[in-house]
């Protein structure tokens, strides 16, 4: 009862700060989700030569048999590793707020995907392996907390700024939703730019469903000014794609220009440096939103609906 009360309070507080306020239906909040979160990062930091065998027995997937115990004991004493664990422990001394948000996320998952098994959640440090900060298997969700210390943290000093700005706790649930999307949304055989845009648009629409209390910026990983730029220039972006006949192009160079993480999108115009990266994903998102608003397609059929059908039936018109 107490836990449910605080979850309800949390959802109200979260929603009060959203740019696009949206009430969470009771049927989602009432999903019977109980997460099990294991702080492996803390357990490992507190282990020693005597307790290591027990830790290995409880987390065998973290201890490949070809590595001797001396490797792990040395890691416990390594200065950089100690500093990394201390930074994580300081930032996440109390994991209560994060647990509440993760519970809210998985209540949405349980509602939209009732057959999906809720994984065990394990936090750990990864030597700032930001490309693998979230790993989702059938039964485990691994969260590399050292990748969520804030964009200005000294451990990120050598990382490109456009990457570092995503290494923040506000994007944790969004990153998990991205991992879930890879299991839900099949990558298209169609290699056209349009099909790839709509693939990422489906991923972002999934975040609309699973992260209904979060802002669009959190979902796509844009800061406020980047999202404002995308919204203000949506019509011009779309016109650029259409006039240059990019929609049905299979040119592999379009992905790094408009879909892949990058400091900015590459229109090859003077305004490039003003733009956020991944604008192709943003446009794909708006197309999928238009399709779902215009048609009565069930959510569970969206993921396999061909991009061409999504595009044609969306009657997409960019925001002016």
Tens-digit pLDDT profile for residues 1-30: 333 333 443 444 343 334 344 689 999 999
Q: Above 70 in pLDDT, residue 83?
A: yes
Q: What is the pLDDT of residue 22?
A: 65
Distance of alpha carbon 55 from alpha carbon 63, whole angstroms: 9
Confidence tier at 57 by pLDDT (50, 70, 90): very high
pLDDT tens by residue, 132-150: 999 999 999 999 999 999 9
Q: Which residues of 304-317 are buried (b: 16+ CB within 10 A; e: fewer)?
A: ebebeebbeebebe
Distance of alpha carbon 186 from alpha carbon 94, whole angstroms: 37
By the 8 A CB rule, do 197 and 288 touch? Answer: no
Question: Per the structure block, which two tokens stand in for 221?
Answer: 């990983």
pLDDT tens by residue, 171-226: 999 999 999 999 999 999 999 999 999 999 999 999 999 999 999 999 999 999 99
Place of tokens 């809210």: 104
Percent of the chain with pLDDT over 90: 91
Q: Above 90 in pLDDT, residue 43?
A: yes
Query: What stretches of 118-259 adopt beta strand conformation (E)?
Result: 120-124, 134-136, 140-144
Which phi and psi angles does 38 have, rounded to 5°? Answer: -110, 125
Q: What is the pLDDT of residue 320?
A: 77
Query: What stretches of 29-136 adopt beta strand conformation (E)?
Result: 37-39, 120-124, 134-136
SS3 of residue 121 by DSSP: strand
State mean pLDDT over 80-101.
Answer: 95
Question: Per the structure block, which two tokens stand in for 247?
Answer: 């929609």
> CB neighbours of 115 closer than 8 A, spacing ≥ 6?
none
pTM: 0.91
State mean pLDDT over 31-60.
Answer: 96
Q: Above 90 in pLDDT, residue 92?
A: yes
User: For the chain, which residues make up each domain, given as ranges?
Assistant: 25-183, 185-314
């Amino acid at each position: 009862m107490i836990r449910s009360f605080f979850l309800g309070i949390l959802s109200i507080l979260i929603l009060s700060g959203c740019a696009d306020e949206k009430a969470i239906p009771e049927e989602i909040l009432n999903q019977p989700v109980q997460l099990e979160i294991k702080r492996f990062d803390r357990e490992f930091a507190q282990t020693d030569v005597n307790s290591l065998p027990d830790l290995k027995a409880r987390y065998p997937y973290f201890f490949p048999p070809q590595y001797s115990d001396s490797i792990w004991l040395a890691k416990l004493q390594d200065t950089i590793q100690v500093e990394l664990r201390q930074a994580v422990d300081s930032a996440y001394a109390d994991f209560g707020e994060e647990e509440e948000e993760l519970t809210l996320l998985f209540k949405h998952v349980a509602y939209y995907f009732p057959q999906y098994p809720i994984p065990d959640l394990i936090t750990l440090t990864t030597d700032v392996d930001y490309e693998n900060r979230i790993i989702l298997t059938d039964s485990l969700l691994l969260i590399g907390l050292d990748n969520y210390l804030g964009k200005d943290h000294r451990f990120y000093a050598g990382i490109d700024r456009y990457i570092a700005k995503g290494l923040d706790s506000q994007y944790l649930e969004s990153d998990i939703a991205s991992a879930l999307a890879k299991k839900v949304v099949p990558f298209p055989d169609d290699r056209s730019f349009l099909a790839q845009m709509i693939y990422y648009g489906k991923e972002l629409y999934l975040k609309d469903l699973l992260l209904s209390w979060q802002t669009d910026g959190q979902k796509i990983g844009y800061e406020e000014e980047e999202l404002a730029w995308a919204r203000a220039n949506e019509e011009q972006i779309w016109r650029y794609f259409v006039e240059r006949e990019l929609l049905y192009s299979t040119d592999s160079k379009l992905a790094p220009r408009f879909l892949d993480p990058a400091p900015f999108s590459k229109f090859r115009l003077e305004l490039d440096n003003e733009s956020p990266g991944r604008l192709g994903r943003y446009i794909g998102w708006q197309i999928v939103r238009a399709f779902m608003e215009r048609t009565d397609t069930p959510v569970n059929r969206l993921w396999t609906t061909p991009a061409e059908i999504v595009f044609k039936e969306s009657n997409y018109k960019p925001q002016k």
